Amino acid sequence: MNTCSMSCAEADWESSHSLLCTGESCDPRRREALLKFVKHANETNDIFLLAAKVISSTILRYRKLKENCLAEKGKNDASCVSDNYNFSLLLEAWKPISMGYKKRWWDCIALPDDIDPSDEASFRMQIKELAFESLQLLQTAIFDKELFSLEIYGHIIGMFELNNLDLVVASPMEDYFLYIDDLSNPDKEEAEKITQPILDALGEDYSTSCEGTAFFPLQSCMNHSCCPNAKAFKRDEDRDGQATIIALRPICKGEEITISYVDEDLSFEERQASLADYGFRCRCPKCIEEEP
């Protein structure tokens, strides 16, 4: 786990990493199972790794809520051990993510260009089986029982499939080396001995920005328009992990803020085809005007 500070590491540990750690100190059986899950995700779809973080953070929030309940009411209080109450706690723990709850991954993923439409059903079944394989590996690693079904897992992955935002993050290595330059001897000499092999291995690529994808709950709640009044993006220089929503034109008080899910410069037919994955037909002013 690479973090920028001890406080960042502690926050990540408490939010999800304590269930996903593959360090030498974790339980050997769990570590082996997690490594199999990570290997499968890296070879198939790295969105599985994001889904694992969502599930882990939900489980940890659920455990914390239950711990607080037991502390307040006592371990012998029947209300804290009933199935209905446990389920209500799980729903409460799920709230921060539930706003992004969308179609199942195998239902919403776009059909690749090299797949014939007549083979669509077979393709989607293969995608579902891939998700099932991933979930089985994850359950072996972090579940005592099945808190999350394949159905929910499919919705989580679908949430990322439809709502992810491409991002570029400035290389943390550049700041790290600048930090070392500011050290005084002998700390600087000692740090350079350790980091020089890393710098040599990276070469000129040490300052290359990191590209990836992220899920931002608020941005995922914004509706689509082919003539949007706002745009979501991630600045290269941003280092706080936040996405930015900027206005593309003056927005009136009370006017809904919309973004485009697709390239609005595409033709009417192409836009509608792309939006079919989201399960709706756009009726924004631009589409109404261009519809044949």
Q: Is 241 left (phi over 0), alpha (psi -120 to 50) or beta?
A: left
**Contacts of residue 210, Cβ cutoff 8 Å, sequence gap at least 6:** 168, 169, 170, 171, 172
Beta-bridge partner residues of 258: 223
CA distance 4 to 227: 39
Beta 223-224 vs 258-259: how paired, if at all? Answer: parallel
Tens-digit pLDDT profile for residues 234-246: 665 555 667 788 9
Report which of residues 164 and 7 the model is more confident about.
Answer: 164
Contact 269, 240 (CB under 8 A): no
The pLDDT of residue 227 is: 95
The pLDDT of residue 247 is: 95
Tens-digit pLDDT profile for residues 193-219: 887 887 788 777 777 777 777 777 778
Mean pLDDT of the chain: 82
CA distance 120 to 81: 45
Number of H-type helices and E-type strands within the chain: 13, 6
Tens-digit pLDDT profile for residues 55-112: 888 888 888 888 888 777 665 565 555 666 677 888 888 877 776 657 889 988 888 8
* Domain architecture of the chain: domains with CATH: 6-166 (no CATH), 171-208 (no CATH), 222-290 (2.170.270.10)
Tens-digit pLDDT profile for residues 222-277: 899 999 999 987 665 555 667 788 999 999 999 999 999 989 999 999 999 888 87
Residue type, 31: R
List of E strands, 12-116: none
The pLDDT of residue 41 is: 93
